[in-house]
Amino acid sequence: MAKKKSTPVTELSRIIPAPATPQPITETIEKNYMPYVMSVIVSRAIPEIDGLKPSHRKLLYTMYKMGLLGGARTKSANVVGQTMKLNPHGDAAIYETMVRLTRGNASLLHPLVDSKGSFGKQYSSDMKYAAARYTEVRLDGICREIFDGIDRDAVDLVDNYDGTMKEPVLLPTAFPNILVTPNMGIAVGMASNICSFNLAEVCDGAIALLRNPKTGVDRLLDIIKAPDFPGGGLIVYDREQMRQIFETGQGAVRIRSRYTYDKENNAIDILQIPYSTTIEQILNAIAALVKEGKVKEIVDFRDAIDLNGFKLTLELRRGTDPDKLMNRLFKLTPLEDSFKCNFNVLINATPRQLGVVDILKEWITFRTECVRRECKFDMVKKQERLHLVMALSKVLLDIDKAVRIIRHTENDADVVPKLMEAFEIDRVQSDYIANIKLRNLNKEYILNCVREMDTLNAEIKDLDETLRDELKLRAKIAAELGEIKKKYGKPRQSQLLFVDEIEDLPEEDSIPDYPVRLVLTREGYFKKITFQSLRGNDEQKLKENDEIINVFDANNKDNLLIFTDKAQVYRVSVSDFENTKASLLGDFLNAKLGMDKDERPIYMRVQNAYPEGENLVFIFANGKGVRVPIRAYETKGNRSKLKGAYSANSPVVGIFYEIEKDPFDLLLISDSARAIVFKSSMIPVMTTRSSGGVILMNLTRRDKAVSRATTDLSEIGDAKGFRKYKLPATGVSLSDKFVDEEQLSLDDKI
């Protein structure tokens, strides 16, 4: 037998991998997870002090470099393709970013992109935007204030992802765009949700802080009153809640829809809805309420959006009060909604939660540095120009000498050195002189150069003073803000509705009230039948072997207590059930009320109030009984199910309602046909619902249980022989009683 060839150790090492080196979880998080976390926070989800996320900034800068600020529109697909040089995350993501910035989408108070074509709507989840190849865009006019200074060293430029071009770290926004453009982002471990404010108010607030850095929250609340949403609506204004947002950057803003009542068509036209919801969410909520019968005043509702703008129409039943209906809908639907504020902003690549006041202060710091850099850039350029003009002034004093030098110099390369030597100027100045056109050597040109030199000196001096004086820098920024407000400021779209001005209208009871007949069967079927329906047919249809256990008349607004064989009680309203006919089986309560498996109703009663001196009487199969005050079943709130409605120690054989001042006779019959009759007032009252009660009927060996309890004494005739005045009592045989009665009747005949 041949020996197996052994595998060399070196080959085994290739087949069996070396065991992995254990790595602490903290090290894994630090090395592998934290870089991802920081990338999402810093480079994707959280806006910076210019009010833009990186995706917004890359898109807008690409459009700026394409000459779309003031130029003609171009296809969106063209912009998307060009943006991929800066943002390599895919064309779909870039186009979605663009859509939200457009005028057509209506997401912003001041759109940054002027659009043509279908871009969907912010207030609708169903209205989709067209493909990029069909739509056209260019930068909106307000972008001049966002890019102003970008070509004058206002901000730093860095390499793009592959180092082929430059892009700005931030855009030098000349107004606090961070508070004007709404922004939402979800990072890792944090999120940002910034609402929009009115541009004119924000500019005034920033000017107030520029003039007096110690301006307090109260003063700013007077200037920047509240957020201003693109969709309009009514802001339910609470100054203390607004103060919290201004101070901490956290809080909620309640927004109500704005509506009008069309008296001619008896309809409500909703013209503005909260920014945080959509028309589809509102329609779904209203549809659910109408379907469940909770709102019966609405006959029809529809999306009536057209070329004139947003409209949601609710057609009403005759006699409906529109204000009362809207008051209910505000509570039950997103027609009133809240915008959750969470002002997380990146400051120097560090996420910080700031209030409105602190955001304005940070923006002022940022803008001050931008303006300072612009001033330095302008001053350097003017100094360079002055340097050239000063050389020109020297040459113009003896222009013929300059012409002679240029004319008699044999080599072109010698012109600049000879001019430098002749007029004692440097190479830059000499090169500038050598390139002046011959036609410019006239008196007018010379005088203009002299005047330009005076102007340049004055401008350089002014720029130098501005750079040295912080107050002048602030005044310059304030002046720019004033111009922006004048040019782009618009009235508020979201009006204020003060909390104390809201009239708390009583809710209109929309449930109609009318008499009905209620039927409950042993199998658990329930019917609510109108008397009009009963006139046509009052014969009750029942399931085979089923029988009726409760029948009584009530009103549609009545409340019911339904007791079951599992010692539970359900609180329901008659109006919760649909009208039915006697010829139908009705509602199966086990399914309708969500009862436990095999649970069945055994007693039903109308109970609209829980007065003193009224009780429920429970009779159990073990011969015991108890009276429980009806007040024990009154609960706080709207609990629909109550456990432990009565004792579960023995099956219940009868439930009765008693008014203490009007006690009734009770007949108990055992399974061996023995009976007793007594007054309900003889049963003691127990305050605990689950009390097992006291013995009412002594059960002998033959009497294993009480089989029935009833208030109908007709089946025993004269109750005299069965009546008991002291409990517990032993039952009297029904057969003995009947034999005695027969003998008496025979004696009478004899």
The answer to whether the beta carbons of residues 240 and 500 sit under 8 Å apart is no
∠ CA 60-65-71, rounded to 5°:
90
The one-letter amino acid code at 500 reads D
Looking at the DSSP assignment, which residues form a beta bridge with residue 255?
Answer: 235, 337
The answer to whether the beta carbons of residues 270 and 312 sit under 8 Å apart is yes
Query: For residue 292, how many other CB atoms are within 10 A of its CB?
Result: 9
Looking at the DSSP assignment, which residues form a beta bridge with residue 614?
Answer: 659
Distance from C-alpha of 276 to C-alpha of 509, rounded to nearest angstrom = 30
Burial class (CB in 10 A: 0-12, 13-18, 19+), 725: exposed
What is the bridge-based pairing of β-strands 559-564 and 587-588? unpaired
DSSP notation for 261-285:
EETTTTEEEEEE--TTS-HHHHHHH
Burial class (CB in 10 A: 0-12, 13-18, 19+), 59: buried
DSSP assignment, residue 31? I
Nearest to 287 by CA among 305, 301, 274, 271: 301
| DSSP 3-state of 104 | coil
Catalytic residue among 64, 95, 123, 134: 134
DSSP notation for 344-364:
EEEETTEEEE--HHHHHHHHH
The answer to whether the beta carbons of residues 44 and 54 sit under 8 Å apart is yes
Is 134 designated active site?
yes
Nearest to 600 by CA among 610, 591, 609: 591
Instruction: Say which residue the tokens 């409906």 belong to.
Output: 320
Rounded to a whole number of angstroms, the distance between the first and last alpha carbons of the chain is: 126
Q: Which residues are catalytic?
A: 134
